[in-house]
Structures are given as structure tokens and as C-alpha cells.
């Protein structure tokens, strides 16, 4: 997910996407602990997407 896409999203969409990605990340980590997933870099990318979403929410709160 690119920063431009996040900027164009509404606050509600950002929060929904953040909660969905957080749930997916948790499930992916659990499944990775049980049996290794094909591409473990997906976990890193998902963490970074979550960080981008949190950063944008924080930026909007301070404005």
C-alpha cells in the first residue's frame, strides 16, 4: 500500500484497513509459527503498511 493511497482514504477507511491488517498480521504470525509460510517477507510488508496507516492517523489527529 502506497502513502498516496492512504492519504486519499477517509478516516473511517483508514481505521477499518488498520484493524483488518492487524488481524491478518496476527493470524499470519501464528500460522508462520506453526508451519513456515512461503514468503515470510509478507509479514514485514504488512507491519510497514500498519505503521504507515498509524502514522497517517496520528498526522490527521494533530492537525
Integer Rg of the chain from CA: 13
Residue 14 pLDDT: 96
Residue 1 pLDDT: 82
Model confidence, pTM: 0.90
| Nearest residue to 47 (alpha-carbon basis) of 17, 20, 22 | 22
DSSP 35: S
What is the phi/psi pair of residue 47, to 5°? Answer: -60, -40
Where does the pLDDT of residue 28 fall: very low under 50, low under 70, confident under 90, or very high at 90 and above? very high
N- to C-terminal Cα separation, the chain: 23
Where does the pLDDT of residue 63 fall: very low under 50, low under 70, confident under 90, or very high at 90 and above? confident
Q: Cα separations (Å) of 33 from 17, 26, 40, 43?
A: 24, 11, 11, 12
Chain segment 29-48, per-residue pLDDT in tens:
999 999 998 999 999 999 99
Q: Which domains does the chain have, with CATH numbers?
A: 3-62 (1.10.287)
Amino acid at each position: 500500500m502506497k502513502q498516496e493511497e492512504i492519504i486519499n482514504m477517509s478516516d473511517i477507511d483508514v481505521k477499518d484497513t488498520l484493524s483488518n491488517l492487524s488481524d491478518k498480521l496476527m493470524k499470519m504470525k501464528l500460522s508462520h509459527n506453526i508451519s513456515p509460510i512461503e514468503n515470510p517477507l509478507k509479514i514485514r510488508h504488512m507491519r510497514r503498511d500498519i505503521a504507515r496507516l498509524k502514522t497517517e492517523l496520528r498526522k490527521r489527529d494533530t492537525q
